[in-house]
Amino acid sequence: MNMARLIFLGVGGGRYVTLSQLIGTCGWILEMDGEMIYIDPGPGSLVRAKQHGFDLKKLTGVVVSHRHPDHYTDVEVVIEAMTYGAKKRKGFLISTPAVIHGDEKEPQKVSNYHLSVVERYKSMKPGDIFEWNSLRITSTPTKHRDEDGLGFVFEGSRKIGYTGDGEYYSGQEKYFQGCDCLVLNCLRPREDTWPGHMNAGQAEDLIRKAKPKLAILQHFGMKMLFGKAEREAKEIEENTGIRTIAAKDGMVLNLDEVIGSKEKSGLERFLK
């Protein structure tokens, strides 16, 4: 039976949350149609996966949205976990040209050795498509300080969008229309803007226009901690009429059950 499940290992982002580790900064996992894909394995990926009881040897793919440390730092050790200590050529890696090949500014972030132990890897630009078994992954543009940065749309039995890092830009919603779930990197509260990053007000605009069935905020900076993210999610839901939740470290969401539930209490029942 097909199932779509989202596992949030570390929902923090930005340099200060990364350095303090008040919450984890190691991304999330998408399980869908027999695949298990790690998205943005930042610092602490192995430790947090162990803490929350997830076996990274079961991974079938790794996705890195851009070359900032809170998104790529643990990619090589996660690849080693996926490939049984680099003993079994397995799975895929997709990312940006800067991460995989490097450029005039910085060297590549994944060694040639680690590229050699995955079955396939691809550097992607906005609009590129990667197909793996029954999954189709399309890259989307971002407006971020890393100009190579990407968002993604994962299509299988469900359609899952991921903004990656970046502020809202006009027309961004067209890439995520029809999504069952949209995961948004929301670094700051609505009253606080920072170039190249999304705040809660921009997230609300995107959610209102893209109209996903479910929106999930994550990748929180310091000003979104201590209950602020939950308050912002509640306000977005009240203003848009679209279910919006603030992810927590270790949260596991069975998307099929949550989207299928009629009452809000149904959502709470499946937040584990």
Return the C-alpha torsion angle 192, 153, 8, 227, nearest 10: 20
Burial of 128 (0-12, 13-18, 19+ CB in 10 A): middle
Closest of 157, 163, 189 to residue 259, by C-alpha? 157
3-state percent helix, strand, coil for the chain, nearest multiple of 5: 30, 25, 45
Question: What is the tens place of the pLDDT at every residue in 182-198?
Answer: 999 999 999 998 899 99
CATH of the domain at 121: 3.60.15.10
pTM for the structure as a whole = 0.94
Total structural domains within the chain: 1
Question: What is the tens place of the pLDDT at every residue in 41-87?
Answer: 999 999 999 999 999 999 999 999 999 999 999 999 999 999 999 99
Range of the domain at 104: 4-269
